[in-house]
Chains A and B, each alone.
Chain A
């Protein structure tokens, strides 16, 4: 289990990085934290000709809360642990830390990057679903310039995104949900720290009368890409304690079509989606009702 050889590039600036990516396009692959990529290389399931190591791009090692507190932007070299520990980000968007605690183990989070996990687009990757749930955006740079893509357009399938091999994902932005909201992440994994058998992140929004105004959920491990489902119709206009949260859970499960694998049947995943959605919505609604 040793990686095949590759040509190694270690750019010092973002401009250099995108220049190299352009030069070797489409044979280049970006190396950030390496927590997903290196195992693939060591197993020789991937053998890119060129590896562009962005670990010197310190300008991308940031977690920034937008001026109005309305969003959190994470640079491509911010480790999961940096995002998890960022007090300002936690203050405006606790969902990030809450969810990151489910991403593998702390040692992996010390090195793995949030942007990298999103660019990797593993359908089991928690942060892909959080980005989709919050209707976030992805910023990409290439020698041709910069573009920003909505999460729903970014993810195109399992391990697949709209990013070109010549592009570098420089940051992602997680908008903070507006209004009186509560957000919760929950998942069931075989072992603590494993990829989830099913996981869901939800946002519930209440109106000024504390009635449910909106409910939506995003899922991992039950669809080829992070799928977001609007569940408002099942619970709209109800008080938190009266809302038929199980109905929302059933609605969600009905819209999902998970597959079997060695850890769980499709039926079980579907069942989990229903149960976890119900639990998470109820909890998120509770949080929203005590939110300022």
Chain B
């Protein structure tokens, strides 16, 4: 048995189940449930004239067909706008089933419930929807020109317009010795977890209660949303995130249309109903991200120091804004990275298009911001003929300037103040790791062999651990097992291991003895959710706080039992003992399990442990009540963590690429990461997060794009044509770490979940530009794109 805990790269506790097929993902639950399927709009923009189900009603196995007309009460209202903002003057959300109008291909119109999914799809095929076509708005340029509108009552297609600034940018640009302008373009991608969404609902009519399993990143909020929508008391609704097959942001959105109507139908039918999203539905019925056009104006001095930076972003928010304007806020604030331009102004327009809605995907606007900033840094370096790392270093916020206040408001509504970080040290490590100073020799060698290579760099700072809070509950059972729960959810990040490590360390028990539950409202009802690289920071600290309280109580009770001062006690390997006493010294130690028994005075001796806690079980002090005033039975407690503001992780990536002079194929020869997320709970898990992020960054830079035609049809809604990288497309990832603890939380940790993906497009654009000798301004880039760019360069 190991006591290895905080900071140790231990193997994950959740793995044996998942490796042997014993995981329970959404579609693994409820084999007897009825199956739901949806008729979805095949058109990007249309009015619904008629829905004819007559050809479908005699399909054997059909149970029910629902359209918007059937949705009673609040179920028929527009879905909630989850994150309102003063700048979001024209927020719009969809109905659970479309009412009168559809605004993107894939919008659900009719729900079919049948005995199985095959039959449900047979029924969908027979339902005839008649449309009046409306001209679609596709692409940012079309949205910006506003010749056509997505929503009649949204002028200019603008859902939100926000300007943030510090200093006088106009004056700074006017006075700058050099000014450059860049126009940049980054295309859509999507989270694309291997498991799509899914909902299973079971109504217990006798108990008047609803249990919902959903593949979500926010089970507590789904619960609250469902209770409100279905007009049920909150305590009659329980929501559980089972094993979730990846999230990456898309599953933070809630309640999805299906998340509302599946439970609604289960109640109405008095039957279990399940909907499992298929891959095609996920492409058109979930959400996307990334698509932005950007204009940058930068003024700088002869040394490359930024005097003024003025950025305008046109952000494609798709058909609706259920998740508010988090993504463009993040882009325009996190764009600054590790740099400190003297004056900064960021303006964005969030625009409607007749395409799938945009909500955060891992990185959540940061990759675009990083792209804008890092392309700018490279442009400044190229203009001045300076090394790219030199220009960056000259603009870094220095460690002695921490905490650094940017004078802006971050996505959590709180000031954008960096807490800690040592950017020059990170850069030094990266240069060493990739061999920055030796690259020119390699380039010369490669060139002599007819090869074309380039090196790129990109830096980022990531606000992690956003509030408002998370909670944790820890209990020592009478057999010595420690159970813990937190309300936020898990999608593969190894939370059950990392949180067990935190609890085990605080409590002094072997980590294997700690069992953690996440995302189950039956176990913990107060939570926000898993997003923004916040889980380890938030629930880690909350569980640490709960464990510390449990530890204090255990020491107090053990002190009474051992007639010792609790301050002289420690907990080692699940045993409370007098500090420094040998393990077997009589009267100097007591197992935590026994303390748990003592913590809960009983009347009934239902088992051997209970017998020791019954009222006639041993000597008693008759002057005190069995449970002291102000105390509570059981060796358990709850803790919360609510940060004053976000904590800021950082990192830098470098890549060496080779571009084929003939075929324009792009090969990543090396990919190096230096990362600083404060103290590491489990280095192996953090490393895995970085690997996965890098793969998504590479995907977003070289392979993945959502291709819409002018009619608003998504042309590549399959894994055949949406090119998620296989192992053969992802380079070996070389990593190094710094640990600059966060002063904001007791554990000193910062988030790590999103980091790896952020600089992907920036660093590869930098490297390809370096290889080719001209600036790449649009990502992703395919060999065909590169070929076209070469032709355009030649003809210049």
Contacts and interface: CB of A to CB of B under 8 A. Distances in A.
Contact of A191 (B716, B729, B784, B791): B729
Nearest to A198: B663
Interface in B69-99: none
Contacts of B731: none
Interface string A130-145: 0000000000000000
B723 A2 contact: no
A197 B663 CA distance: 11
B106 to A, nearest CB: 14
Contact of A1 (B278, B720, B728, B784): B278
Contacts of B723: 190-191, 194
Interface string A1-14: 11111000000000
Interface in B705-735: 707, 715-716, 718, 720-721, 723, 725-726, 728-729
B10 interface: no
A275 B662 contact: yes
A195 B118 CA distance: 29
B665 A188 contact: yes
Interface in B762-796: 782-784, 787-788, 791
A2 B117 contact: yes
A165 B665 CA distance: 41
B726 A192 contact: yes
A263 B280 contact: no
B703 interface: yes
Contacts of A193: 726, 728
B726 A44 contact: no
Contacts of B8: none
Interface in A11-56: 43-44
A191 B787 contact: no
Contacts of A265: 784, 787-788
Contacts, number: 67
Nearest to A3: B118
Given A188-B663, A190-B703, A191-B729, A43 B788 contact: no
Interface string B551-588: 00000000000000000000000000000000000000
Interface of A is mostly: loop
A243 B716 CA distance: 42
A3 B117 CA distance: 10
Contacts of A192: 726, 728-729
Given A4-B125, A44-B125, A264-B782, A191 B703 contact: yes
A234 to B, nearest CB: 18
A111 interface: no
B279 interface: yes
Contacts of B204: none
A267 B665 contact: no
A267 B787 contact: yes
Interface in A209-256: none
Contacts of B664: 268
B121 interface: yes
A263 B726 contact: no
A271 interface: yes
Interface string B103-136: 0000000000000011001100100000000000
A176 B726 CA distance: 35
A22 B122 CA distance: 28
Contacts of B278: 1
A265 to B, nearest CB: 5
A262 interface: yes
B784 A264 contact: yes
A43 B729 contact: no
A272 interface: yes
A265 B783 CA distance: 10
B281 to A, nearest CB: 8
A276 B725 CA distance: 24
B782 A1 contact: no
B784 A2 contact: no
B721 A262 contact: yes
A262 B704 CA distance: 11
A267 B788 contact: yes
Interface in B484-528: none
Interface in A266-292: 267-268, 271-272, 275-276, 279
Contacts of B788: 265, 267-268
B663 A43 contact: no
B659 to A, nearest CB: 13
Interface in B650-665: 662-665
Contacts of A44: 121, 125
Contacts of A4: 121-122, 125
Given A1-B279, A195-B720, A265-B784, 6 more contacts: A1-B121, A44-B121, A191-B728, A194-B723, A263-B721, A268-B784
25 contacts: A1-B121, A1-B279, A1-B280, A4-B122, A5-B118, A43-B718, A44-B125, A188-B663, A188-B665, A190-B782, A191-B703, A191-B723, A191-B726, A193-B728, A194-B723, A262-B716, A262-B721, A263-B721, A263-B782, A263-B784, A265-B784, A265-B787, A267-B787, A268-B783, A279-B662
Query: Top 4 closest A-B pairs, CB basis?
Result: A192-B728, A264-B784, A268-B784, A1-B278
